[in-house]
Amino acid sequence: MAVECISGAFLAAAFQVTLDKLASRDIQDYFHGSKLKDKMLKKLDIVLNSINQVLEDAEERQYKTSNVMNWLDQLKEAIYEAELLLDEVANEASRQKLEAELQPATSKVRGFFKAFVNPFDMEIASRVEELLENIQFLASQKDMLGLRKGIFSGNEVGVSWKQSKQLPTTSLVDESSICGREEDKEEIIKLLLSDNVTCNQVPIISIVGMGGMGKTTLSQLVYNDQRVLDQFELKAWVYVSQDFDVVAVTRAILKAFGSKGAEEKDLNLLQLELKQRLMRKRYFLVLDDVWNEDYSSWGVLQIPFIYGPSGSRILITTRNEKVALVMNSSHLYHLKPLEKEDCWKLFSDVAFHDKDATKYPYLVSVGSKIVDKCGGLPLALKALGNILRVKFSQHEWVKILESDMWHLSDNDANINPALRLSYHNLPSYLKRCFAHCSIFPKGYEFDRDQLIQLWMAEGLLNCCQINKSEEELGIEFFNDLVARSFFQQSRRRASCFTMHDLLNDLAKSVSGEFCSQISGSLEKIITKRARHISWSSKINIDDKFLEHISKCNRLRCFVAFKWEFGRGGLIYTDKQRILLSTLKYLRVLSFHDCLLTELVDDIGNLKLLRYLDLSYTKIKRLPDSICRLHNLQTLLLLWCYDLDELPIDLHKLVNLRHLDLRMSGINKMPNHIGRLKHLRTLTSFFIRKHDVKELGNLSNLQGTLSIFRLENVTDPADAMEANLKGKKHLDGLVLNWGNKFGRCNENEDSIIERQVLEALQPNGNLKKLSVLRYDGTSFPRWFGGSHLPNLVSIALTESKFCFVLPPFGQLPSLKELSISCFYGIEVIGPEFCGNDSSNTPFRSLEILKFEEMNAWKEWCSFEDHNEEGQGLSCLKELSVRRCPWLRRALPQHLPSLQKLEICECPHLEDSVPKAVSIHEMKLRLCEKLFLKDFPSSLKKATIHGTCIIEACLHQILVNNPFLEELKIHNFHGLNKKWSSLDLHRHDSLVTLSITSWYSSSLPFALHLFSNLHSLLFHDCPFLESFPEGGLPSSLRKLEIEDCPKLVASREKWGLFKLHSLTELRVSDDFENVKSFPEDGLLPPTLSVLYLIACSKLTHTNYKGLLHLKSLNSFYILCCPLLQSLPEAALSNSLSVLYIHDCPLLKQRYQRDGEHWRKIHHIPSVIIS
């Protein structure tokens, strides 16, 4: 029932596409001259228009009459067949036109006579006749069904696109419109920040509520609250969804916490890395949309979480209370529907926008009744508000209120009536665009441009007779759907978007059996009506798979999505041939992330193909037959690093608009690429001698263009012909000179490079510019001043002969500037600011970085401006790294500076910049730095090296009352200067790390840090004991590694007094620990214990472990002599026992070992 309930609305959109194609010039010209075919075409047009006039009535009556539903389904299939036929005709017309242009005049005469016996014409005539007969039959049934001609209303069903003035074109939803969740937010935050923890594991707070209730929105409000930001050192948001896989979710969590190498497939290694990330910092993890009810899966997933320090929290959202119970939630928070007042506020804020609702009492009366029907569901309220936004006709509002959809008996209870109405009232040009999104799995993050390219391939953007490109139109359609709340911006990646699960269900309901998703089980039945199939790229395309889709010979879209982690599925050559021969009418084909090494020649037979994605495959070459795909618009080859060249006839792809070569192995361009005049995306261009001129014809390029091997340009005139200045749609430009080995005349080459760069001046609309390995002695004039007014980011990397930097200070929009490896720069002077200008330099700059400037000695560009407080007034981050000869002088007046990093600048004789807002500072190997007027607003500080530590440790601790994290590294002094350190108490410090400390004592008493939670000592070989006063009672986590003398005095640590201590990590490779722990050494609150690299440890002490009733996790690593564990001392609370590289323990305690029975009761035992 759910499938058919809105099929008419979908059909209206599809109908308009077909009618527009019938009216297109290609179709009309092709049939012109043949009376029979022309007559059939006109009949088809008349019949389709007659049916189109009753679609609105059919939409309304399908809910009451099953015969109308069946009629709509048959009609939908016929319309798809009509589209296919018309696409084939358009393709044939295009092919004949292309051939005619390439043939000499005599051949054109022969072609004229051949046209009389064209077998394609005969086939098309037969198919048109058959199609016409079928549609005429359906048209006759409309009268039998009593369908009447409808009057189109505000939903604009069946009309072409017209530019909307009603909705904003922004791609962001205003989060300030959230209503009625303030109390819920405060309750959740109170639970997160509460110290009242009754369980030994990390507390889990579950928000439970039906779909669309606002669980995710509430969690996002909590996640971004400043109190939460201040409380937790690590934060991560992970969307879990219905497909729960422990490895996949673990990998996603790792990525969310910042891991760059989370592609590992071994669960053990993934959990080890996750444990390492969590064990030192208090974390907050949100697991959004959890469905898994399997306790064992959750038990495995949660193992690394328990190693986080006390105070860590996990927040989950779920529709199912059982899920929350399975996850051992410490708190269940049932999210209730919005109160009536909040419902009205949310609805009216959207529906009336900036109008005064009180001026429309008749709409308020109707609107309040509509609100009552939404059941307090925020998603439904917002969706309906968007339908009625700035529509002030009472008729429109009453029509929504009295719609039959509120009373529709639907087998699919997930489809909310308000959401059905939202879709039903979309303009027709948006309905099919939205329905196409049914190919996306739930939770899938899609890129705007990716979706627009898919819409283009489906022909959804070429139906409008206006002076706009399909991409421009797609952006407007996309922004319209965002503004109507059908799409929402991803919380993880700002460039991506998602659909709410309920809207995903709606899209699938709209598409019905015409769209299917294939998961690993291959259980879902796919009918011959299927036109769009998406499948997990993990699935192997084998005989079973091919049989599963064998009926789908009219498929338009076959696309692989990587929504599950793991290796891609196998596609052997023979299976690929069978697949392509079956799916010969494809418009969209994606083998994204599949284990594909070869693309068969049969690809050239897909004459209607417009979109081909081979990204993340191991393909080594593209067959020449791909150049026969004259309709191809998009070719994606991202991360195809085994692919090193493109076909030589690529220029024959005359309709190609998007060619993405990022991170592929391509290193040269085929000839005549400049003939691809429709090209809009060209991510990479590799130069050979004179072919840089090919860029001159590509005037429509947009996005970011990277030009490699500029060293091959020997004539600046060739660079001028590239006409970068005329490419007004480019946002980003990368100019890379590459390797220059074997150069004979570096001086002459340097001059040429300067001239080439001058000729490569981009358009003033450019926003980002990167220049790599440029060896000109100076930069062209266009690098500064008024030539690039919109430039936001510049990165200059590696130059041997450049001695003067451009006047970047005069770029009005510049926010980020990075300069590294400029080996010829000795002085940065006033020219850097623009000494010939009276304008304030760097008035927008927020981030400034210098790195590895080996010859740089002096920085004097801000002396004049700084006194007046003008230059760099917006700078938030300053980083100067590895500049060994820099002596002076850092800019001093930086009122907005928040982060300062000065590393490996041993000759820098200057003061730390004056800034009242510095929150984070890192000083490393800059011993001559003057440290007077030290910052007093620090929250994080890292100091490295004896001189730096001696000079500023006192100031950091005494003058920064809000300091939360302090890291001290590499001290070789005697502590004499701190004999009278005036530190009475420090309440804010939470984390203290002391590494490579080569002194016998510390400069401060640790107990003075009254709120210290985490304390780490690493590589402190001479430290004998803790200072007088011992450890602070607030301590939750203590790590001691490679501190042999300190470990030897462990009985004096006084750990038994620390009632907040929950985690202890001891590592000793200096033969001090033979038995551990001693009786009474550890506090009963301990929940996590690590013993690492204790090379002489032979046994664990029974009495020392017996009282640890809260011990949850016990880790033993690299203890080769340890033979046994005290069975009676292993507390019943123990849920994780991890043993690694302990050969004697492994032999006895593995599953078939003699002592396995002593530990088999522990839920998670890992021995490796």
Q: Residues 164, 389: contact at Cβ < 8 Å?
A: no
Burial 153-178 (b: 16+ CB within 10 A, else e): eebbbbeebeebeebeeeeebeeeeb
Mean of pLDDT values over 220-237: 87
pLDDT-derived band of residue 818, with 50, 70 and 90 as boundaries? very high
pLDDT-derived band of residue 745, with 50, 70 and 90 as boundaries? low
Contacts of 301 (CB under 8 A, 6+ apart): 246, 249, 250
Evaluate if residue 1125 carries a pLDDT over 70: yes
Q: Tell me the range of 8-17, 48-57, 196-205, 800-809 where mean pLDDT is highest.
A: 800-809
Q: Tell me the range of 124-138, 418-432, 714-728 where mean pLDDT is highest.
A: 714-728
Mean of pLDDT values over 906-911: 88
Torsional sign, CA 425, 431, 437, 438: positive
Q: Residues 763, 769: contact at Cβ < 8 Å?
A: no
Q: Cα–Cα distance between 1159 and 926 in angstroms, integer?
A: 53
Mean of pLDDT values over 371-392: 81
In 3-state terms, the chain is what percent helix, strand and coil (to 5)? 35, 15, 45
Annotate 675-709 with DSSP letters as a single string: G-TT--EE-EEE--TTGGGGGGG-TT--EEEEEE-
Evaluate if residue 1129 carries a pLDDT over 90: no
The CATH number for 182-334, chosen from 2.60.40.1180, 3.40.50.11890, 3.40.50.1260, 3.40.50.300, is: 3.40.50.300
Predicted pLDDT of residue 264? 67
Burial class (CB in 10 A: 0-12, 13-18, 19+), 395: exposed
Write down the residue that tokens 């000729």 correspond to. Answer: 759
Write down the residue that tokens 């020649």 correspond to. Answer: 601
pLDDT digits (tens, 9 = 90+) for 668-718: 999 999 999 999 999 999 998 778 999 999 999 999 999 999 999 989 999
Contacts of 1024 (CB under 8 A, 6+ apart): 1000, 1001, 1045, 1046, 1049
Q: Cα–Cα distance between 844 and 435 in angstroms, integer?
A: 43
On the question of a cis peptide bond just before residue 961, with omega within 30 degrees of 0, the verdict is: no
Q: Residues 673, 666: contact at Cβ < 8 Å?
A: no
Q: Cα–Cα distance between 279 and 1138 in angstroms, integer?
A: 15
Predicted pLDDT of residue 865? 46
Predicted pLDDT of residue 661? 95
Q: Which residue has the higher pLDDT, 407 or 442?
A: 442
For residue 818, list its beta bridge partners: 795, 849
User: Considering only 188-202, 273-287, 679-693, 919-933, which range has the smallest mean pLDDT?
Assistant: 188-202
Q: Which residue has the higher pLDDT, 510 or 681?
A: 681
User: Considering only 430-444, 535-549, 1011-1025, which range has the smallest mean pLDDT?
Assistant: 535-549
pLDDT-derived band of residue 959, with 50, 70 and 90 as boundaries? confident
For residue 533, list its beta bridge partners: 516, 558
User: Considering only 48-57, 227-236, 721-730, which range has the smallest mean pLDDT?
Assistant: 48-57
β 496-498/488-489 pair status? antiparallel
Mean of pLDDT values over 361-367: 86
pLDDT-derived band of residue 980, with 50, 70 and 90 as boundaries? very low
Evaluate if residue 24 carries a pLDDT over 90: no
Predicted pLDDT of residue 173? 31
Q: Indicate the domain borders of the chain.
A: 4-144, 182-334, 340-511, 886-1006, 1036-1168
pLDDT digits (tens, 9 = 90+) for 1134-1168: 878 888 889 998 888 888 888 888 888 887 788 87
Instruction: Compute the mean pLDDT over every residue in the chain, rounded to the nearest whole number.
Output: 82
Predicted pLDDT of residue 168? 30
Evaluate if residue 166 carries a pLDDT over 60: no
pLDDT-derived band of residue 172, with 50, 70 and 90 as boundaries? very low
Q: Cα–Cα distance between 984 and 1009 in angstroms, integer?
A: 9
Evaluate if residue 598 carries a pLDDT over 70: yes
Predicted pLDDT of residue 731? 95
User: Considering only 222-231, 692-701, 836-845, 1090-1099, which range has the smallest mean pLDDT?
Assistant: 836-845
Separation in Å, CA 792 to CA 731, 761, 786: 10, 16, 13
pLDDT-derived band of residue 262, with 50, 70 and 90 as boundaries? low
Q: Tell me the range of 83-87, 941-945, 983-987 where mean pLDDT is highest.
A: 941-945
- For helices 428-436 and 470-483, the axis angle rounded to 10 degrees is 90
Evaluate if residue 109 carries a pLDDT over 80: no
Q: Cα–Cα distance between 750 and 772 in angstroms, integer?
A: 14
Q: Which residue has the higher pLDDT, 1091 or 29?
A: 1091
Evaluate if residue 403 carries a pLDDT over 50: yes
Q: Cα–Cα distance between 208 and 205 in angstroms, integer?
A: 10
Mean of pLDDT values over 381-387: 83
Q: Could you confirm whether domain 340-511 is CATH 3.30.70.150?
A: no
Evaluate if residue 623 carries a pLDDT over 70: yes
Evaluate if residue 789 carries a pLDDT over 50: yes
pLDDT-derived band of residue 860, with 50, 70 and 90 as boundaries? confident
Q: Tell me the range of 165-179, 327-341, 803-817, 1096-1110 where mean pLDDT is highest.
A: 803-817
Q: Cα–Cα distance between 645 and 742 in angstroms, integer?
A: 25
**pTM of the predicted model, to two decimals?**
0.77
**Short-list 56, 16, 42, CA closest to 162:** 16
Q: Which residue has the higher pLDDT, 930 or 699?
A: 699
- Degrees, nearest 5: CA angle 2-7-13: 145
pLDDT digits (tens, 9 = 90+) for 535-575: 876 778 888 888 888 888 889 999 988 755 556 677 888 88
Evaluate if residue 431 carries a pLDDT over 90: no
Evaluate if residue 800 carries a pLDDT over 90: no
Evaluate if residue 478 carries a pLDDT over 80: yes
Predicted pLDDT of residue 717? 93
Element (H, E) at 731: strand 730-736
Same fold, 182-334 and 340-511: no
Q: Residues 66, 59: contact at Cβ < 8 Å?
A: no
